[in-house]
Amino acid sequence: MNKIVLISGILFGLADLFAIASLALPDWILTGAAGNMRLGLTLQCLTIHNRDEICVSPKLSIEWTTTFVLIIIGILCLTANVMCLMLSHWEDVLKKYAKWLAFFAMISFCTAGIVFPMGFYVDEIGGYPFQLPTQSQVGVSYVLFILSIFFTIISELLAEQICRPLPGAVF
C-alpha cells in the first residue's frame, strides 16, 4: 500500500469518525432562550436554573430529518470507502470504487451542510432559514460535521491522484 493510499484512508477514517461524533452529540445548536438548550439531530438537552439536564429525542423538522439521512448515507459511504481502501492492498481495482464511494459521501455531506441551516426556523431556535437569532450559536457537533466535510474533500483529492492513470497509458 503506497503512502497516498494510506494517508487518504486515514483522512477518510477521520472524516467518518467526525461525522459519527457529530450525530452522537447534542451540540449542533446552543441556545440560551429557554434555559440552556443544546439541540442535536439525535438528542435535545435542556437545563433550567442549574437543575439536572433533561435529554429527549427531538421531533425533527423535514430539513433536519433530511440532514440526518444525508449524513447517515455519507457515513455508510465513507465506511465502505475505508474498507475498499484497505482491501485494495490485495485487489487494486477497489481503489476505483473507493473513489466513487468517497465522491457520493462528499456530495451527501455537502448537501446536508446546505440543508441543515434551512431548519433554523424551528420553535426551539426561533430564527429564520439560514439565520440564527443572536442568543443562539452553532456548537461543537456542527464544527465536527464541517471538519468531516473538509477531510472528505481533501481525501477525495488524494483519491483522485490514486486512481489517475499513468501518463501515456492506453486503456
Q: Is residue 23 part of a domain?
A: yes
Beta-carbon neighbour count of residue 160 at 10 Å? 13
Owning domain of residue 11: 3-163
Residue 96's pLDDT is 86
Banded model confidence at residue 157, pLDDT cuts 50, 70, 90: confident
Angle at alpha carbon of residue 87, lines to 84 and 89, rounded to 5°: 125
Question: Is the Cβ–Cβ distance between 39 and 124 less than 8 Å?
Answer: yes
- Cα separation, 35 vs 53, whole angstroms: 10
The CATH number of residue 17's host domain is 1.20.140.150
23-40 confidence digits (pLDDT tens): 999 999 998 765 688 999
Does 39 reside within a domain? Answer: yes
* Overall domain count for the chain: 1
- Residue 171 reports pLDDT greater than 50: no
Give the pLDDT confidence of 117-156 residue by residue, as tens digits.
999 998 888 889 999 988 889 999 999 999 999 999 998 8
pLDDT surpassing 70 at residue 164: no
Bigger pLDDT: 93 or 111? 111
CA dist 122 to 4, 36, 62, Å? 43, 16, 10
CA quadruple 68, 137, 120, 118: dihedral positive or negative?
A: negative
- State mean pLDDT over 69-90: 94
Following DSSP, what letter does each residue of 17-65 receive, concatenated? HHHHHHHHSS-SEEE-TTSEEEE-SS-EEEE-TT---EEE-----HHHH
Consecutive H or E run containing 136 = strand 136-138
pTM above 0.75, yes or no: yes
**Residue 171 belongs to a domain:** no
